[in-house]
Amino acid sequence: MDASITTLPFPEVVGEGTRARTRVDHKTSEEAALVRRVQAQDEMAFREVVERYQSKVFSIIFGILRNRNDAEDIAQQVFAKVYFSIKNFDFRSSLLTWIYKITVNECYDYLRKKRVRKLVYESDFSQEDAQRMEASDPAVDTSVPADTRLAQRDLILKLLSKVSAEERSLILLKEVEGHSVQELAGMTGLNENTIKVKLFRTRQKLLRAAGRLTRTS
């Protein structure tokens, strides 16, 4: 693939009207009022943030790591980071998008610390866990053997480590959380065209990384 193609700008497919429609003012929403209370060190407001997003954070972590034992520990770390960093929250994106990014970064920090990404699942994810997951998740394709799925998950986690934190969060919000380009534009404060460009470049980087990985193995 020609690398120069990736640097070409996308045509302006989104008009001003669309941009205005997708732009969300994160400074005046009900969520913004809650964030301002947390920034003013209102503990009840922070409790509300934790209770509102804890399930989401847990499921993001478990989705990436498939490790129940560490999921709570990482979730605690995520909310501790939220507590200490919320004064820097600038209302350009939604609170959930911001927390999502912190959560994904924490998962990758965890994987980096392990330094044995290939063995994470072999050591922490038992056959029992695999069977339990299959039983509880109707979306899981049981025709594919568990070890093949684990290898595929390992591969995609490796590939996602090759792109930036922003690109990783964006592609996960799109594919894992199922948000549309328009929703992503509203959540991140970027316009739809920028989202499309970022998604396309991320997909190309992932393809190139997969190609390199195949050549080296």
Partner 1 sequence: MHREIRDHIEDVLRGGDTLQAAREHLAQCDECRSEVLGMQEQMELIRELRAPEDFAADLRPNFYARVMERIEAEGPISIWNLFIESAFGRRIAVASLALALLIGVYVVTSERSAEDAAIALQSPQLSTEQIIVAGEDAPAREITRVDQSQTDQSSEDAVLANLVTYREQ
Residues in the site for partner 1, rule: CB under 8 A?
Answer: 1, 5, 10-11, 13, 47, 50-51, 54-56, 58-60, 62-64, 68, 72, 75-77, 79-80, 83-84, 133, 136-140, 149, 152-153, 155-157, 159-160, 171-172, 175-176, 181, 196, 199-200, 203-204, 206-207, 210
The residue among 63 and 105 lying less far from partner 1, judged by its C-beta, is: 63
| Number of other residues whose CB lies within 10 A of the CB of residue 169 | 22
What are the percentages of helix, strand and coil residues in the chain, rounded to 5?
Answer: 75, 0, 25
Q: Pick between residue 64 and residue 102 the one whose CB is nearest to partner 1.
A: 64
Contacts of 82 (CB under 8 A, 6+ apart): 49, 99, 102
CB of 161 to partner 1, least distance (A): 13
Which is nearer to partner 1, 119 or 156 (by Cβ)?
Answer: 156
User: What is the C-alpha to C-alpha distance for residues 203 and 116, in angstroms, rounded to an integer?
Assistant: 25
Measuring CA to CA, which residue among 29, 41, 112, 47 is closest to residue 74?
112
Least distance CB 27 / partner 1 (angstroms): 26
Fill in the DSSP letter of residue 189.
S
- Of 29 and 182, the one with the shorter C-beta distance to partner 1 is 182
CB of 28 to partner 1, least distance (A): 27
Nearest-approach distance from CB 79 to partner 1, in angstroms: 5
> CB of 60: closest distance to partner 1 in angstroms?
7
Residue 114 Cα to chain centre, angstroms:
20
Measured from the CB atom, the residue of 102 and 172 that comes closer to partner 1 is 172
- CA-to-CA distance for 187 and 172, rounded, in angstroms? 13
